Chain A
């Protein structure tokens, strides 16, 4: 198992290979995952499918998801693993079965790793404790989305022309990442805000107070809050936009028009304030709300690369969770 000997204790003895929070990974481990993702992506199909040949991976998706679910599923299958999908619409959770019992059932059926998406923050911790299996957090409530932070980092490193080797507190020194939008409800923001400052990045959170309370500063040391999007964008090397749900604006002082006016990333704004910035978005995008099509599809956007990196990062996370052969050890941290 990659880096198994140096596994940090996460939340009182979680199974090595689990990834519940991005904070559980050392920078050494982050390096190892990103490098292994690259290595696996470059590997010939025949070698890759042998890595987890016949291993059993369960995807437990209690919340609708296209991108993350497909990405994890294809990652597992690319490595030769058997997958089974349990989703909220087709599962015993509808009949009131507890997460504990579902997890234990999956384990009894031979699942060796469970990938969990849940709308309850902290659900992966419950599952990890119940099953003792490695659990990969595919997004829990408003808490974290650690694999997203890893793929985002991979995309940034690529943009900056930095190799994912030997990551340190200086790797992103001097870089400014502006995360804009509904930070209150965003697990993507939480994972990124926890990871990027550890690599030396200046992280500026941007949004109206209703979607970005001051408490957000407690996510990690050194975070900044900026309410003026254009002022933030002017400093940005990376502009990470977050999805804004209309229903979350309803009931606030904000309406869609004022949000669009103040925080939308559109072509003119990007050209004037962030002409060199990398544009990212975890998806799904609401085109015309937080971002316009010209920007999403424009030359500075790497939104599709994020998706591609997602697949390789998740392959590496599955390898880390299940152990997948020594030849991948060339990227050991």
Chain B
């Protein structure tokens, strides 16, 4: 056996079952070779035979590696912001072992050739890279891509990420086709006709700052439209399409999703850590805290919303309306962000702060069980992707494991990032839970220094 690892004496977490127990995990040949529950040491002899590296996990949590269904790796085309190699190293540093790459690359990932480029071992990814290619050619919203061929080549879903599919007919056909293939259409819900020239949430803060605002209805109206389409398709066709709503940020859209789930439709959704942690007030700055006005690190799309919407996002996570946490990791170079607020690109990096923000806000501040928080980042995203081989710790499964100090409180320092970009609003922010080791497909790909 080669590259064997023994994770010894940690607290093993099975988020899907909301269970935890003391135990050892032996990893060999890329898979979990054995799990022993109880006192540490039962696997020591096997580990020695295997020449395994022994990692002392005493006092640490050992969980399935995290899965992020929404990241931007910027390759091909924008490697000054990030590459697949650097983005996946940042993923590893954040405890992620699987990331789903969005297609808004340059060129757009809308063909089998570019999908294979993204997933190729030549990209030297540190963790598993899955991909959702574009649902329409060039993400122009008009003509569907060759979804069957892309699916056969490994697509785990389809999305025009960042650009909503606005035309009803195109979205209907996309849902129907993806439904037949058994994968989701992942929608960036924004009626861009309502957000022309807007750079933040519409409301008192945007008024004060003199910035054009995006109304919450721009998000909810698309979600409501897509849900109507789902119902029509279920009724008319013998197919059950799966709509996945990206980074939901408004109470109105969450309520529409809640109702759709009650009606039994196959809708899932994600919320980003920043939308449960921050509000649009951050853009107004705070002289007392020496934070600046118009700080472009707080500019993303969907934008940071009001406190009411932020609270609705948290409530929807707590009541199960939200299926998964997703970072929407969106790297940009400092010079690209260092411009006027309205001219700055949208997006923040998020892979290395996801666990720390999620545990702080959801577990520490809102009392959500730690296992349930982890489920949002492991078993639940695996389910959204239809990948029951991921998001769990089990003998024979791929050895995708994160070892973290669940009780660690610290301030995030972006200078240590593995990403090529540093555009985070969380530099210096309080975090709970620090990743110590990440094992991807049996290899230790991250060790905290």
Docked-complex contact A125 and B211, CB < 8 angstroms: no
Q: Which residue of B lies closest to A129 (CB)?
A: B292
Docked-complex contact B210 and A190, CB < 8 angstroms: yes
- Say which one of A116-124, A170-178, A284-292 lies at the interface with B: A116-124
Complex Cα spacing A99 to B203, Å: 27
B292 CB contacts on chain A under 8 angstroms: 11-12, 125, 129
Complex Cα spacing A213 to B207, Å: 9
Q: Restricting to A110-137, which residues have a CB under 8 Å from any CB of B?
A: 118, 120-123, 125-126, 129-130
Complex Cα spacing A118 to B258, Å: 44
Is B343 in contact with chain A by the CB < 8 A criterion?
yes
Q: Which residue of B lies closest to A127 (CB)?
A: B340
The answer, among A11, A21, A122, A187, for a CB contact under 8 Å with B340, is A122
Docked-complex contact A99 and B340, CB < 8 angstroms: yes
Docked-complex contact A98 and B339, CB < 8 angstroms: yes
Q: Restricting to A194-248, which residues have a CB under 8 Å from any CB of B?
A: 213, 215-219
Is A69 in contact with chain B by the CB < 8 A criterion?
no
Docked-complex contact B294 and A122, CB < 8 angstroms: yes
Complex Cα spacing A321 to B66, Å: 53
A126 CB contacts on chain B under 8 angstroms: 294, 338-340
Is B122 in contact with chain A by the CB < 8 A criterion?
no
Docked-complex contact B293 and A142, CB < 8 angstroms: no
A143 CB contacts on chain B under 8 angstroms: 209-211
Docked-complex contact B290 and A121, CB < 8 angstroms: no
A141 CB contacts on chain B under 8 angstroms: 210-211, 342
Question: A125 and B207 in contact (CB under 8 A), knowing A99-B339, A100-B339?
Answer: no
Q: Which residue of B lies closest to A128 (CB)?
A: B292
What range describes how many residues of A lie at the interface?
20 to 34
Is B59 in contact with chain A by the CB < 8 A criterion?
no
Is B396 in contact with chain A by the CB < 8 A criterion?
no
Smallest beta-carbon distance B308→chain A, Å: 14
B338 CB contacts on chain A under 8 angstroms: 98, 100, 126, 130
Smallest beta-carbon distance B94→chain A, Å: 28
Docked-complex contact B341 and A122, CB < 8 angstroms: yes
Question: A219 and B207 in contact (CB under 8 A), knowing A122-B293, A125-B292, A126-B294?
Answer: yes
Is A161 in contact with chain B by the CB < 8 A criterion?
no
Is A144 in contact with chain B by the CB < 8 A criterion?
yes
Smallest beta-carbon distance A121→chain B, Å: 4
Q: A100-B338, A215-B206 are in contact. List 4 more A-B contacts (CB 8 A).
A: A9-B290, A10-B287, A121-B294, A122-B294
28 contacts between A and B (CB under 8 A): A9-B287, A10-B287, A12-B287, A12-B290, A12-B291, A21-B293, A98-B338, A98-B339, A118-B340, A120-B341, A121-B210, A121-B294, A121-B341, A122-B211, A122-B293, A122-B294, A125-B293, A126-B294, A126-B339, A141-B210, A141-B211, A142-B210, A143-B211, A184-B207, A213-B207, A215-B203, A218-B205, A219-B208
Minimum-distance CB pairs A-B, first 7: A122-B294, A143-B210, A142-B210, A218-B204, A120-B340, A215-B207, A121-B210
| Chain B residues engaging chain A, CB cutoff 8 angstroms | 203-212, 285, 287, 290-294, 335, 338-343
